[in-house]
Amino acid sequence: MTVETKTGVRELTFAQALREALHEEMQRDDRIFVIGEDVGAWGGVFRVTEGIYDKFGPERAVDTPISEEGFTGLAVGAAMTGLHPVVEIMFGDFITLAMEQIVNQAAKMRYMSGGQAEVPITVRATIGAGRSSGGQHSQSLHAWFAHIPGLKVVVPATPYDAKGLLKTALRDQNPVMFFEDKLMYAKVKGEVPEQEYTIPFGKADIKRPGKDVTIVALSRMVHAALAAAEKLAEEGIQAEVIDPRTLTPLDRDTLIQSVIKTQRAVIVDMGYHDFGATAELAATIMNGAFDYIDAPIERLGATQVPIPFSPPLEMSTIPDEEKIIAAVKRTLAGRGA
Amino acid sequence: MTDNPQLIEMYRKMLLIRRFEEAIFDLYRDGKMPGLAHLYAGEEAVAVGSCAALNPDDYITSTHRGHGHILAKGGQPDRMMAEVCGRVDGYCRGKGGEMHIADFTLGILGANGIVGGGLGIATGAAFTAKVRKTGQVSVGFFGEGGINQGIFYEELNMAAAWKLPVIYVCENNQYGEYTPWRKVTAGEDITERARAMGAAGVRVDGNDVLAVYQVTREAAERARQGEGPSLIECLTYRYTGHHVGEPGKGYRSDAEIEEWRRRDPIPRFEKYMLEKGIASGTDIEEIQENVAQEISEAVDFALNAPYPELSELTKHVYVE
């Protein structure tokens, strides 16, 4: 379901954009195959791999047993011997079962072999709370992987970025962890050009320019930040919204330059607050823009509790537009949290 | 099935492994190598018998006790020894160490420091071979300690369900570190676990190089014909401790060690070759001298090789 907006540009959902990237790259490169639970004949529980099985056959859309460590390990071996697997971890929480293969095998194989191994594996996993799915289907664990050398970590927020970054992942000879907020698949729509494009890793995107405060946001939180910026503009506060798009590699310079200009920063992520991605981003800004900062850097992340089931409890754990606005106002008042 | 040069080469490889491990023992004792060393002495027939049944382009993954597998698959003793000593001329430029030696040009997809850690890689290599129809097979070596890791069952299940050309070679050296395997392992016969999934499962005397060769050859033929995976349990024994510096006693009786030494795979095969007229006493002496020379040169190469420059530190984290 696409809507023509203008020549060569359509509006796609987040899931459609990802699907298009997979189809195009699989057409281009016969090393690429998708593997995971229900990714083949069923088309994936979030429909991202829809159509691949019919178009490319069962060897390139591999339905697995419910064996996350097993099929991730198999994919690492396939990557080391010439294929390019795209592993789908249906709920990102299940990645705990595959940590050994990702952290000890995929991430380290090149280094430990003195540069012999190439492990071109892309692991797609979901993040994001807000569906009343309970504590084991709602976590946002992307920061864990940014802690590990040897992995690249991608956290797209828009259909345009999702498609361009996934295509880049599928042309990268390194392990790439690609995190998709499951609430964005159908709900987030955006313009995507029909013509070929890719987006390089390590290049932040200024989603909205502004001069008064910098809001750095990841994945779905970019949309909350943009909504907050819209409201703040009504009060005459011009927020600059920056989306790093990839945590590894990280475009530190764009963050630093923005805060040198605005002198205030609010950092927003759906991952846990303590020791989370926001801490590294804040430290980056502290080191690079210390002389310019006029207020303590604000960090917003998930509350340190297992994600609860009951909607009011669950929603309270997630940073949102109101919390972002409040944080911005604290920085403008020159006070910390 | 095998001609005399092949048999003589199997003997030479076993001896090469034994002398390689003895040289590492000395290096460790003399404080000339960093880290730990996990020696393969006693288990040579497993690596040599199984690798002799493979083609040069077949894959293997190895374990923390992996020197034997790598030598058996064709690894060079000098570059291996340099890696053990942390030198830049080692297989992994000194960054991997003795538990992580790899030579991708020989199909050696790395030794692995995680028990069972190479089984996913071995199965994935078999997946590639099947999809690409290359006719290659893949061997995942692991110890009996790895037989109780979850990943073994996950990989075996997929390999059996999808008829992947992979052979799981379990070296049962009787102890997972310091714990006798019987104490922590259910059932009388672990090969039943493979048969339960519709894979072949066979137990073999792991100190009989020809027996190991024979069962691996059969498993490789099955694999290449699309009949799926096999589990081979090789009964064997490590002579030294879990690592050098740990004497291997206290949890193992002298009588038990003595009993296994009587079944040493190398003199046993030497006797076989002499009896069958495959090699003469002079031939064997010549092999022994050549192997001693090769190991001596490997040690010299390793100790004379430089350590990596610090500029090497951040290279090879990513493919640029």
Who among B103, B117, B127 is closest to A100 (CB)?
B117
Annotated catalytic residue, options A20, A25, A37, A68: A68
* Rg of chain B on CA atoms, in Å: 19
Confirm whether B311 is domain-assigned. no
Domain of B290, CATH number, reads: 3.40.50.970
Instruction: Inform me whether the C-beta atom of residue A202 falls under 8 Å from chain B C-beta atoms.
Output: no
Residues forming a β-bridge with A248: A153
A181 and A58 in a common domain: yes
Order of strands across the sheet that contains B59-61? B59-61, B138-143, B166-172, B230-235, B200-205
Q: Say if residue A336's pLDDT is above 80.
A: no
Domain of A227, CATH number, reads: 3.40.50.920
Contacts of B158 in chain A (CB under 8 A): 64-65, 67, 70-71, 74
Establish whether A68 is a catalytic residue.
yes
Helix H or strand E segment including B169: strand B166-172
> What is the tens place of the pLDDT at every residue in B183-235?
999 999 999 999 999 999 999 999 999 999 999 999 999 999 999 999 999 99
Is this structure's pTM higher than 0.90? yes
Residue A1 pLDDT level (bands cut at 50, 70, 90): very low
- Tell me the CA distances in angstroms from A157 to A87, A216, B124, B270, one per residue in order: 20, 12, 32, 67
Confirm whether B310 is domain-assigned. no
Instruction: Inform me whether the C-beta atom of residue B261 falls under 8 Å from chain A C-beta atoms.
Output: no
Task: Determine the structural domain holding residue A137 and report its residue range.
Answer: 3-193
The CA distance from B126 to B131, in Å, is 9
Taking CB atoms and an 8 Å limit, are B154 and A70 in contact across chains? yes
Annotated catalytic residue, options A84, A137, A142, A223: A137
Structure tokens at B295: 């190991």
Residue B245 pLDDT level (bands cut at 50, 70, 90): confident
> What is the tens place of the pLDDT at every residue in A265-302?
999 999 999 999 999 999 999 999 999 999 999 999 99
Number of domains composing chain A: 2
Instruction: Inform me whether the C-beta atom of residue A78 falls under 8 Å from chain B C-beta atoms.
Output: yes
Tell me which of A239 and A2 has the higher pLDDT.
A239
Taking CB atoms and an 8 Å limit, are A76 and B120 in contact across chains? yes
Number of domains composing chain B: 1
Residues sharing a CB contact under 8 Å with residue A132, sequence separation 6 or more, in sequence order = A309, A310, A311, A314
The CA distance from A61 to A51, in Å, is 9
Quote the pLDDT of residue A255.
Answer: 98
> What is the tens place of the pLDDT at every residue in B261-305?
999 999 999 999 999 999 999 999 999 999 999 999 999 999 999
Domain of A15, CATH number, reads: 3.40.50.970
Q: Please identify, among A151, A169, A193, the residue that sits at the C-terminal boundary of a domain.
A: A193
CA A2, chain centre distance (Å): 23
Which DSSP category does A177 fall into? E
Taking CB atoms and an 8 Å limit, are B92 and A109 in contact across chains? no
Contact call for residues B90 and B80 (beta carbons, < 8 A): yes
> What is the tens place of the pLDDT at every residue in B3-13?
899 999 999 99
Quote the pLDDT of residue A5.
Answer: 53
Confirm whether A337 is domain-assigned. no
The CA distance from B283 to B277, in Å, is 11
Quote the pLDDT of residue B3.
Answer: 86
> What is the tens place of the pLDDT at every residue in B45-68?
999 999 999 999 999 999 999 999
Instruction: Inform me whether the C-beta atom of residue B94 falls under 8 Å from chain A C-beta atoms.
Output: yes
A171 and A146 in a common domain: yes
Task: Determine the structural domain holding residue B147 and report its residue range.
Answer: 4-303
